[in-house]
Amino acid sequence: MTERFDKAAETWDKGDMRQNIAHSVFQTLSSRISLLNHMEIMDFGAGTGLLSFKIARQVKRVTGVDLSEKMLEQLISKNNDLMEVKTVCRDIMKSPLDMTFHGIVSSMAMHHVEDTAGLFKTFHGHLKRDGFIAIADLESEDGTFHSHGNEGVYHFGFERDTLRHTIEEAGFEHVRFHHAYTVEKEGSDYPIFLVTAIKKS
């Protein structure tokens, strides 16, 4: 899977779809959660930083976490004197970071992680007290969203009630789902949700 993302990194930002998803996820997120200038945020599956840099304008620091070195190279190339996103190339489920965050965001990465329950437990462990998650991904779909094929895709979207239970079991409360965007392609609609929750104090 990492190899595919490495190969795609150079052209990842081209076209409207990923740009539109990142924009809409950010708009939905920022309308539900107050992003404050003291906050340190993790962007899980940050890729080229499409979401990271939108958030970085409003908070103290964003750390982009990804398994693809080439994706993170593209992200790093966007850093400048006015705005910088830190990067970590690591599987945080196997090797957690020695830092905690006020919030964890993610856009369209969760379906590439096989162990969803383990992922949310990992998120829980990386959050400060009362920290938030804001995770965007596909509603349940029929496996046709990825036109390149489903290598490295462990979930054809997510069913809300099942995911809610998984998130609550990991130690979160106030789980809320919000419609973020709908991808329209090849005659089909693929809705994307944003789920937000707070770490239990």
State pLDDT tens for residues 49-98: 999 999 999 999 999 999 999 999 999 999 999 999 999 999 999 999 99
Kindly report which listed range (138-147, 156-165, 188-197) carries the lowest average pLDDT score: 138-147
CA torsion sign for 89, 91, 94, 97 is: positive
Quick one: pLDDT at residue 46? Answer: 97
In 38-173, which ranges are continuous DSSP H helix?
52-56, 69-76, 116-125, 160-169
Res. 4 pLDDT band, cuts 50 70 90: low
What's the domain count of the chain? 1
Q: Is pLDDT above 70 for 114?
A: yes
Between CA 201 and CA 192 the distance in angstroms is 29
Q: Is pLDDT above 60 for 1?
A: no
Domain boundaries, position 112: 2-199
Between CA 61 and CA 43 the distance in angstroms is 10
On whether the CB atoms of residues 170 and 124 are closer than 8 A, the answer is yes
Quick one: pLDDT at residue 160? Answer: 98
Residue 116: φ, ψ to 5°: -65, -40
pTM equals 0.94
Between CA 111 and CA 104 the distance in angstroms is 16
Between CA 79 and CA 199 the distance in angstroms is 31
CATH of the domain at 42: 3.40.50.150
Q: Is pLDDT above 80 for 5?
A: no
Quick one: pLDDT at residue 111? Answer: 96
Q: Tell me, what DSSP letter sits at residue 19?
A: H
Between CA 167 and CA 13 the distance in angstroms is 30
Provide the CB-side half-sphere exposure for 61 (13 A, CA).
Answer: 9
Q: Which long-range contacts (CB under 8 A, 24 or more apart) does 157-165 make?
A: 157/111, 157/190, 158/110, 158/111, 158/116, 158/193, 160/193, 160/195, 163/116, 163/195, 164/195
